[in-house]
Amino acid sequence: MEEALVGDGRTDRPLSCTHAKPPFCIFLCNHIIPNGLFVYICTVNKKHDHREVLQTGLRLICDKGYNSLGVDEICKTTGMTKGAFYHAFESKEAFLLKGLRVYGEANTERLTKQLATENGTPKAIDRIIDLYDFMFDAQPQNNFMGCMVNNIMSELGSANETVGKAASVEFDSFIEAIEPSVKAAQAEGDLSSAIDSKTLTELLHSTFYGLLTRAKSTQDHLEAKRIMHTLINTLRK
């Protein structure tokens, strides 16, 4: 919660706050209490929504990479103090692990909704194509940041066993969300049944991840879409 602090009007800091005024303390020059002292609002002790902090931090990690991003920058961007950060997350790695879970849960839910038969696209193969088109088309708007899980597996998968396993768990949850549609497309005769549905789903999504990495490098999502369509057409019956 925000804490109102009183300053003496002669310094840049409120009497009971040791932090420099900007960006932590906002001087409200139009709020002068009757005795002539200035009122400051100190946001250092403000309660933060951990989910919002995680989402902001994950965007930074996608943009800069985990190893290149420090806790100082996460705190500066979110408005958190380092003390509050370490109280909430214990370490940068713990922050990443919690963030992966939040990201994984949100994306698993999104995948499930986008592939649902209720979305107005009756054939499973068309829902699958629409899904990957949607994710590729989102890349220019997201500055080609790619997928958090893919980025972390690429950067830390072999260097940090704990993080690598956590990212793999989220990847598996994505496969579980997509596989029913792949199985339905096989049953409808639109995808080959020569490969079991789980392996086929892993092939599709692993290829998608590889193409995301390439699109990030080339800044060209359309070529990535073309290759994905080629793969799906190759796997048709």
* Residue 192 belongs to domain with CATH number: 1.10.357.10
Digit-coded pLDDT (tens) for 148-178? 899 899 888 888 899 999 999 999 999 999 9
Question: 72 lies in a domain?
Answer: no
At 81, the pLDDT band (50, 70, 90 cuts) reads: confident
Domain match, 34 and 100 both: no
Digit-coded pLDDT (tens) for 5-18? 333 333 343 334 44
Burial label, 50 (beta-carbon count in 10 A; 0-12, 13-18, 19+) = middle
Burial label, 132 (beta-carbon count in 10 A; 0-12, 13-18, 19+) = buried
Question: 56 lies in a domain?
Answer: no
In percent, how much of the chain has pLDDT > 90? 50
The domain total for the chain is 2
Q: Omega into 180 within 30° of 0, i.e. cis?
A: no
Domain match, 225 and 157 both: yes
Question: 196 lies in a domain?
Answer: yes
Question: 75 lies in a domain?
Answer: no
Residue with the larger pLDDT of the pair 23 and 106: 106
Per-residue confidence (pLDDT) for residue 118, from 0 to 100: 78
181 pLDDT more than 90: yes
At 40, the pLDDT band (50, 70, 90 cuts) reads: very low
Question: 64 lies in a domain?
Answer: no
Domain match, 125 and 223 both: yes
Domain match, 27 and 131 both: no
Question: 30 lies in a domain?
Answer: yes
At 48, the pLDDT band (50, 70, 90 cuts) reads: low
137 pLDDT more than 70: yes
> What number of other Cβ atoms are within 10 A of residue 123's Cβ?
14
At 29, the pLDDT band (50, 70, 90 cuts) reads: very low
Question: 73 lies in a domain?
Answer: no
Domain match, 38 and 118 both: no
**What are the start-end ranges of the H helices in 5-147?**
21-24, 50-64, 71-78, 82-89, 92-114, 124-137
Q: What is the rounded average pLDDT for all residues in the chain? A: 80
70 pLDDT more than 60: yes
Domain containing residue 24: 3-42
Question: 154 lies in a domain?
Answer: yes
Domain match, 22 and 125 both: no
Domain match, 205 and 100 both: yes
Instruction: Indicate the range of 1-5, 126-130, 171-175, 217-221 predicted with least confidence.
Output: 1-5
Domain match, 8 and 116 both: no
Are residues 127 and 178 in contact, defined by beta-carbon separation less than 8 angstroms?
A: no
